[in-house]
Amino acid sequence: MSNMEAEVYITGVGLTKIHEHWNKSIKHLAFEAIDQCLKELNYKRPDVIVVSNALGSFLQNQNSLSGLIAENISLIDIPNLKVEVGELSGAAALNVAYSFIKSGMYKNVLLVGVEKTSDKLPIEYNTAIASFLDNEYFTYNGITPSALYAIVYKLYMKKFGVKQEHIAQFASHDHKMAMNVDHSQYKFPLPVEKILSSPILADPIRLFESYPVSDGAAAIMLSSKDQVENKDYAVKLDYVSLSTDKSLLYRDDFLYFKSLHSSFERLKLASKIENKDIDFIEIHDSYTIASPLILESMGYTERGKGYVLLIEGQHEKDGVLPMNTHGGLKARGHPIGATAIYQVIEATLQLREKARNQVPNPEIGLVHSMSNIADQSALILLKR
Amino acid sequence: MGSPSYWREKVYRYRLIAKYCENCNKKYYPPKLACPICGNKELKEVQLPRIGTLITYTWVTQPTKDFATQAPYVVGLIKLDDGTLIVSQLTDVEIEELKDGIRVEAVFRRMFEEGDSGLIYYGTKFRPCLFSK
Mean pLDDT by groups of 10 residues along chain B of 133 residues: 81 96 96 96 98 98 95 97 98 93 97 90 96 77
pLDDT for position A141: 97
Closest Cα in chain B, distance from residue A345 (Å): 32
Q: How many CB atoms lie within 10 A of CB A119?
A: 18
A199 touches chain B (CB under 8 A): yes
pLDDT for position B115: 85
Backbone angles phi, psi at A334, to 5 degrees: -135, 75
Regions of chain A short of the pLDDT cut 50: 1-3
- CB neighbour list of residue A295: distance below 8 Å, 6 or more residues apart: A283, A301, A306, A309
Chain A residue with Cα closest to B68: A123
At residue B124, what is the residue type? Answer: T
Longest pairwise C-alpha distance within chain B:
47
**CATH T-level fold of B49-133:** OB fold (Dihydrolipoamide Acetyltransferase, E2P) (2.40.50)
Chain A residue with Cα closest to B19: A250
Closest CA to A256 of A208, A195, A303: A303
- For an interface test with B, give the residue of A117, A132, A140, A159 to mutate (most B CBs within 10 A): A140
Alpha-carbon gap, residue A367 to B43, rounded angstroms:
39
The 3-state DSSP class for residue A94 equals: helix
β strands within chain A, DSSP E: 8-15, 48-52, 80-83, 108-116, 200-202, 205-206, 215-224, 235-244, 280-282, 364-371, 376-383
Backbone angles phi, psi at A215, to 5 degrees: -110, 145
A244 touches chain B (CB under 8 A): no
The 3-state DSSP class for residue A209 equals: helix
Q: Distance of alpha carbon A213 from its chain centroid, rounded?
A: 15
Give DSSP secondary structure letters for B18-67: EEEETTTTEEESS--SS-TTT----PEEEEPPSEEEEEEEEEESS--GGG
| CATH superfamily of domain region A143-211+237-383 | Thiolase/Chalcone synthase (3.40.47.10)
CB spacing of A136 vs B56 below 8 angstroms: no
Sign of the alpha-carbon dihedral angle for A67, A73, A77, A78: negative
Give the tens place of pLDDT for each residue, A232-274: 899 999 999 999 999 999 999 999 999 999 999 999 999 999 9
CB spacing of A136 vs B29 below 8 angstroms: no
- List the single residue in B28, B58, B62 with the smallest CB-CB distance to A154: B58
**Architecture, CATH, for domain A8-121+214-227:** 3-Layer(aba) Sandwich (3.40)
Residues in chain A: 384
Domain ranges, ordered by start, for chain A: 8-121+214-227, 143-211+237-383
- In eight-state DSSP terms, residue A45 is P
Q: How many CB atoms lie within 10 A of CB A60?
A: 17
Residues in chain B: 133
Sign of the alpha-carbon dihedral angle for A36, A37, A41, A45: negative
The 3-state DSSP class for residue A379 equals: strand
Alpha-carbon gap, residue A32 to A43, rounded angstroms:
13
- For an interface test with B, give the residue of A137, A146, A157, A286 to mutate (most B CBs within 10 A): A137
Closest Cα in chain B, distance from residue A196 (Å): 16
State the ipTM, two decimals.
Answer: 0.96
- List the single residue in B5, B62, B125 with the smallest CB-CB distance to A201: B62
CB spacing of B65 vs A146 below 8 angstroms: no
Domains A8-121+214-227 and A143-211+237-383 share a fold: yes
Find residue A215's DSSP bridge partners. Answer: A19, A116
- List the single residue in B57, B73, B85 with the smallest CB-CB distance to A142: B73
- In eight-state DSSP terms, residue A248 is G
Give the tens place of pLDDT for each residue, A34-80: 999 999 999 999 999 999 999 999 999 999 999 999 999 999 999 99
A144 touches chain B (CB under 8 A): yes
> Which residues of chain A does B90 touch, with a Cβ-Cβ cutoff of 8 Å?
none
Q: Quick check: A96 and A88 in contact, CB under 8 A?
A: no
pLDDT for position A4: 56
Closest Cα in chain A, distance from residue B126 (Å): 11
Element (H, E) at A295: helix A290-297
Closest Cα in chain B, distance from residue A203 (Å): 5
CB spacing of A139 vs B64 below 8 angstroms: yes
Domain ranges, ordered by start, for chain B: 1-48, 49-133
pLDDT for position B102: 97
Instruction: Please state whether B121 falls in left (phi above 0), alpha (psi between -120 and 50) or beta.
Output: beta
